[in-house]
Amino acid sequence: MLWKCFFLWGVALLVGARAVQADFCYEQELYTPASGGQPPRTTRVTGFLSRSKVRVEDHSSEVPSVIITRLDEGVILVVDPVKKTYVEMPVPGTDEKQPQPFPVKVKRTSQVKKIGPYQCTRYEVTTGKSSINVWLSNDLDLTSEEVSTYWKAGTRLYPVALTSELAKLPGFPVRVELVYQGATVVTTVTAVAKQEVPAFLFEVPYGYQRSVAIQAPPEAPPEGGAKPTPPK
């Protein structure tokens, strides 16, 4: 929730924590359809982005999850607040010079609509067996660098090569609709606030123990929703 952004900002001032100029905080919903006998699910998360760092918190389940992506250090930190442990793994596919494994086609449509408070234009992105409707808005006071970091670190629903292409689109992705094999996964940003974010949010809390490293797929969603089949 965005009130949490303001609360944490106040805490940083009170305790004297070093805060950097926050790019933004955001609230996001991830809808995943029914699959494998599981009912459809809507996951709500809060994200914090500062320069090349993103923290995503999911408190929608009994066991909260926190994922910190540090593009500046090339690591992903999966933090378990209950066990007070963390897992560290490398950010996958950070080399943007690698050749595209599949063709990506982008088409701007004439369809516009308001999603929440933001006026958006729909872009069609196709990758062969899948299609993605991206609703972009220029109503938000965000730089191209901030939007690029959001794509590359704030979301990991798609292969890295595709994410690099999506990061080049003009505007902020208020809604992304991934259609694959008849199923649609929808990610919607419901609120954004420009804000200072305390630097400690992007660090593992003091006293947490490092756990055994795991091999996580690069397309695994940080919000805790069901993992869709990667686009081909």
Instruction: Indicate whether 149 and 183 sit together in one domain.
Output: yes
Instruction: Indicate whether 75 and 113 sit together in one domain.
Output: no
Q: Does 167 reside within a domain?
A: yes
Q: What is the pLDDT of residue 217?
A: 45
Each residue of 125-150: pLDDT tens digit? 988 778 899 999 999 989 888 998 89
- How large is the average pLDDT for residues 159-179? 87
Instruction: Indicate whether 63 and 114 sit together in one domain.
Output: no
Instruction: Indicate whether 176 and 199 sit together in one domain.
Output: no
User: For 112-137, b where at least 16 C-beta lie within 10 A, e where not — what string?
Assistant: eeeeeebebbbbebbbeebbbbbbbb
Instruction: Indicate whether 128 and 205 sit together in one domain.
Output: no
Q: What is the pLDDT of residue 33?
A: 85
Each residue of 103-117: pLDDT tens digit? 888 999 999 999 999
**CA pair distance 81, 122, nearest whole angstrom:** 38
Confidence of residue 229 (pLDDT cuts 50, 70, 90): very low
Q: What is the pLDDT of residue 214?
A: 53
- Phi, psi (5° rounding) for residue 24? -175, 165
Is the Cβ–Cβ distance between 121 and 138 less than 8 Å? no
Instruction: Indicate whether 73 and 19 sit together in one domain.
Output: yes
Q: Does 181 reside within a domain?
A: yes
Q: Does 170 reside within a domain?
A: yes
**CA pair distance 80, 62, nearest whole angstrom:** 12
Q: What is the pLDDT of residue 98?
A: 57
Q: What is the pLDDT of residue 152?
A: 82
Each residue of 17-42: pLDDT tens digit? 344 445 789 999 989 888 878 888 88
Instruction: Indicate whether 49 and 15 sit together in one domain.
Output: yes
Q: What is the pLDDT of residue 186?
A: 94
Q: What is the pLDDT of residue 104?
A: 85
CA 106 to chain centre: 21
Instruction: Indicate whether 74 and 152 sit together in one domain.
Output: no
Instruction: Indicate whether 54 and 169 sit together in one domain.
Output: no
Instruction: Indicate whether 76 and 144 sit together in one domain.
Output: no
CB atoms within 10 A of CB 147: 24
Instruction: Indicate whether 66 and 130 sit together in one domain.
Output: no
**CA pair distance 176, 154, nearest whole angstrom:** 13
Q: Is the pLDDT of residue 48 over 80?
A: yes
Q: Does 221 reside within a domain?
A: no
Q: Does 177 reside within a domain?
A: yes
Average pLDDT over the chain, rounded to whole? 79
Q: 124 is in which domain, residue-wise?
A: 105-190
Instruction: Indicate whether 88 and 198 sit together in one domain.
Output: yes
pTM summary value: 0.75
Q: What is the pLDDT of residue 79?
A: 93
Q: Does 215 reside within a domain?
A: no
* Tally of domains in the chain: 2
Each residue of 178-222: pLDDT tens digit? 888 778 889 999 999 988 889 999 999 999 999 875 544 444 443
